[in-house]
Amino acid sequence: MDKKIGVKILGTGSYLPEKILTNSDLEKIVDTSDEWISARTGIRERRISKSNEPTSELAYKASIKALEVANISPKQLDLIIIATITPDMFFPSTACFLQRKLGIVSIPAFDLSAACSGFVYGISVSKAFIESGLYKTILLVGADELSKITDWKDKNTCVLFGDGAGAIVFSNSQKDDDILSVFLGADGLYSDLLFLPAGGSVYPATESTVSENLHTIKMQGREVFKAAVPKMALAAEKALELSGKSINDIKIFIPHQANIRIIEAVAKKIGISMDRVFVNIHKTGNISSATTITALDEAIKAGKVCKGDIVELITFGGGFTWGAAIIRI
């Protein structure tokens, strides 16, 4: 009988744009204050990409770092997946632009859209592809530039978002299985609470959609909070059940970095202290699909987790979508 194919993590990498936008900078743009932003969100600064620096460029810089850690060349990849809601264009996919920048041809490449849950959704897809035997080595990227779809006149949303990218390289293995479990969920009944109205087939770009500022993020923050906490806690608990692990087996928990109050509420709900939760929202803001992977890469580089440690990623995003993954570093 053939041995079960497992998934091995070869390496991670991340990239944040050079420009830093602080809360003090935002005080000059909208009616807000550093104290107000910090108290309500936990964010003190965020990274902002250049006008000529598209999502694929951030993805490329993160991917190169992940490939270096994995000690493989781009030509050894079988598949590229990018989780993003800020693609370079509607088509071709941002994954195809990344493929070109990496200098490889022929292998499949596609984008995945699940908002802030995109990276964990991508882990699930990668796991399925490798375990099926269809692909052996996969580059999964979470990359978003929310600054480019933010209404910089809306003080309730513009303080939240930033830009960044993170990447991970998976390979098949008959010895290791580093993706212990993944749990996913979604509920389209909440689709009107966090969304970007125009630019698609419902409201194609017109003079009026631009003048009415419909190409920027719209959010009912209080309602998002009320849904995010129980769904993230549910995902965390379900992923633990599927993995056969307990809370005590997890070295650190890495939740989606959207709001410190959400993070603290989720930690309380699942019964863990904040000293077991990795938080970097104060310096990145919400970077959508890139939050969990950039945080994971930072935790690895900082020595917060070591080889063999088990980590749980927990996400929630527009859709609503949610999910959690238990992985071994």
Active site residues: 116, 256, 286
Radius of gyration of the chain (CA): 19
Query: What angle in degrees, to the nearest 10, is found between the helix axes of 55-70 and 94-102?
Result: 50
Q: Which residues pair with 252 in a beta bridge?
A: 311
Q: Name the phi and psi angles at 19, rounded to 5.
A: -70, 130
DSSP string, 135-194: -SEEEEEEEEEGGGG--TT-TTTTTTB-EEEEEEEEEEESS---EEEEEEEE-GGGTTSE
Q: CB atoms < 10 A from the CB of 290, how many?
A: 36
Q: What is d(CA 140, CA 83) in angstroms, rounded to the nearest whole number?
A: 8
> Which of these, 76, 78, 82, 79, lies nearest to 59 by C-alpha position?
82
Q: Which residues pair with 11 in a beta bridge?
A: 169
Structure tokens at 25: 């900078």
- According to DSSP, the β-strands at 179-186 and 321-328 are antiparallel
Q: What is d(CA 122, CA 68) in angstroms, rounded to the nearest whole number?
A: 21
Q: What is d(CA 46, CA 21) in angstroms, rounded to the nearest whole number?
A: 5
In this structure, what DSSP letter does residue 3 have?
A: P
Q: What is d(CA 267, CA 277) in angstroms, rounded to the nearest whole number?
A: 8
Instruction: Identify residue 77 by its one-letter amino acid code.
Output: L
